[in-house]
Structure 1
Amino acid sequence: MTQSENTNRPQSRAVFFDVDDTLYDHLIPFRQALEEVLATSAEFPYPEAYHRMRFYSDKLSAEAGGTPTHGRALEEMRTQRFVLALREFGLELSDTQAAQVQAAYLRRQFDITLFEGARGLIAGLMEQGLTVGIITNGPPEHQMKKITALGLRDLIPPERVFISGAVGITKPDRRLFDHVADKLGLSPANCTYIGDSWRNDIVGALDAGWKVLWFNHRGAEPESAHPMPSQVTNYAEIERELLRSL
């Protein structure tokens, strides 16, 4: 192929999604775990506590040099995030209680459903010929169970699912996004990433030169001086923004 032919060849466009709190409501299993183990009431500030749990999850992951994928380090990070987060709301958890909450939280994560409009959007994008995939942090087996529970394994090909624990690079490291683009022969400028976490999703994708939609359905604040991307709060808004940019 000549350089002229390559220049005139249409460039493949791609859309990738985060999983946790982007494809499904991550707050639901969090709330259910607290109710089951700690008997928290309807008045407990679940959204605020969830936000802090996610903060400590990201913080502990960064301190560990990336999300641990197995063993004692992973279990300690998972339980410690609950201890630290819930302490801010007057709940002092023993190590045993934290482990029980974590176990309940994990069980509940496999009884999940996609956000309204998510499956239709993904199917529609694929019908238009776009490359659609997933980029998520976590242990491979654990994240694949969520993807299966969401009914996406029959829709998104396995070669377009990138899990940090399998790749060996953790968001927000831009090298994970670089790896995805290189692996699939995509130009970063033609890739769009949709995620909820400023620290993991927005920063990493922007650093890699990707377009970004911040699925900021919990009203979070930016955590760095990166350029502000378009914000969306539901899948109808995601679809409208994608139609403008693709």
Structure 2
Amino acid sequence: MDQMNCVKTIFFDVDDTLYDHLQPLRGALQEVLGLPDTFDYAMAYHHFRYYSDWLSAQEDLSAVPEPDAVERMRSRRFELTMEEFGIALQFGQAQELQRTYLSRQFEITPFQGVYDLIRRLQAEGHMVGLITNGEGPHQRRKLEALDVFSLVDEQLIFISGEIGYAKPDSRLFEHVNKQTRTAADHCYYIGDSWRNDVAGAVDAGWNIIWFNHREASPESDHQPHFTAQNYAEISRILTFEHARS
């Protein structure tokens, strides 16, 4: 078997793919609103991510957004999320939730098994990187908190706010292909968001592993190539694909 044909390009999403994005949201809701442990935080997170993506599309935040538009989106997503549970936020609470949520976003740890998988893939000679939506300085602070820069080559870390395109815009994936001199059909993307990761990667011609650890439902007719609920399953998928090459 030709060793070069076995080498793959594998990129990971960051938020809720490298680490549990629910942790900072749960902490903010408990601190600001005093919600009990019995509250359905998983469902709240589902709504929160949906409204984040929906409002970002409405505000056209895919390129270099206006700061005021970003702040409107960040506050409004909390209001809409809590409305799903019949909770009307008082004046200023949405902004307080955002501030608290932001402060907790850097108290994060990676999912079990993800770094072991990345190290193994690198040892096997695969190109491994990250593609994430968000503002450059903000996402870089998360990556520093996760100690990612000691693990992944910074030249293989692509942040939408530094590029001008955001997932699901296929131009972001095309930019990555151009910069890494790779072909879309040889690239694998691992991400949790249906709208950003599955639809974005499929439309760009990439192979997508939908990291559906929250048992979400599809939001369109796009077809993920693979679905996994944990990193053991992702590892098995990539091992199989490596052996099949």
Whether contact under 8 Å (1:56, 1:81) holds in the other structure is yes
Q: Note if contact 2:19-2:110 (Cα within 8 Å) is conserved in structure 1.
A: yes
Letter in structure 1 aligned against 2:17 = T
User: Are 1:35 and 2:27 an aligned pair?
Assistant: no
Q: Paired residue for 1:57, among 34, 52, 58?
A: 52
1:28-86 deviation per Cα after TM superposition (whole angstroms, max 9, x unaligned)? 11100000111001121111111001000000111122346561111111110000111
Q: Which residue number in structure 2 is paired with residue 222 of structure 1?
A: 218
Following TM superposition, the consecutive aligned residue runs of length 4 or more in structure 1 with deviations greater than 2 angstroms are 8-12, 66-70
Q: Which of the numbers 90, 94, 108 marks the counterpart of 1:98? A: 94
Specify the code of the residue in structure 2 equivalent to 1:141.
Answer: P
Aligned to 1:66: 61
Mapped contact 1:13–1:186 kept (Cα < 8 A) = no
In structure 1, distance between residues paired with 2:219 and 2:163: 26
Structure 2 residue corresponding to 1:48, chosen from 43, 46, 53: 43
TM-score normalised by length of structure 1? 0.94
Pick the aligned partner of 1:120 from 110, 113, 116: 116
Give the aligned partner of residue 4 of structure 2: 10
Deviation sequence 1:83-130 (CA, Å, 0-9, x none): 011111121113510011111111111000000001111111111111
Q: TM-score, normalised by structure 2?
A: 0.94
Q: Determine the structure 2 residue equivalent to 1:78.
A: 74
One-letter amino acid of the structure 1 residue matched with residue 83 of structure 2: R
RMSD: 1.4
Decide whether the 8 Å contact of 1:188 with 1:208 is kept in 2.
yes
Distance across 2 between alignment mates of 1:158 and 1:20: 17
Q: 2:208 aligns with which of 206, 209, 212?
A: 212
- One-letter amino acid of the structure 1 residue matched with residue 95 of structure 2: A
- The number of residue pairs the alignment matches comes to 239
Q: Aligned residue for 1:21? A: 16
Structure 1 contact 79–95 (Cα < 8 Å) conserved: no
SS in 1 for 2:50: helix
Task: Tell me what 1:5 maps to.
Answer: none
The 2-side partners of 1:95 and 1:198 are apart by 32
CA distance in 1, matches of 2:65, 2:31: 26
Gaps of 5+ in 1: 1-7
2:160: which partner in 1?
Answer: 164
1:179 is matched by which residue type in structure 2? H
**Larger CA deviation: 105-114 vs 224-233:** 224-233
Could you tell me which runs of 5 or more consecutive residues in structure 2 were left unpaired when the two chains were aligned.
Answer: none
CA distance in 2, matches of 1:89, 1:103: 21
Q: CA deviation at 1:226?
A: 1.3
**Following the alignment from structure 2 to structure 1, what is the Cα–Cα distance between the partners of residues 8 and 238?**
11
Percent identity between matched residues is: 49
Amino acid at match of 1:107: S
* Residue 159 of structure 1, CA deviation: 0.8
The answer (yes or no) to whether the contact 1:70–1:139 under 8 Å persists in 2 is: no
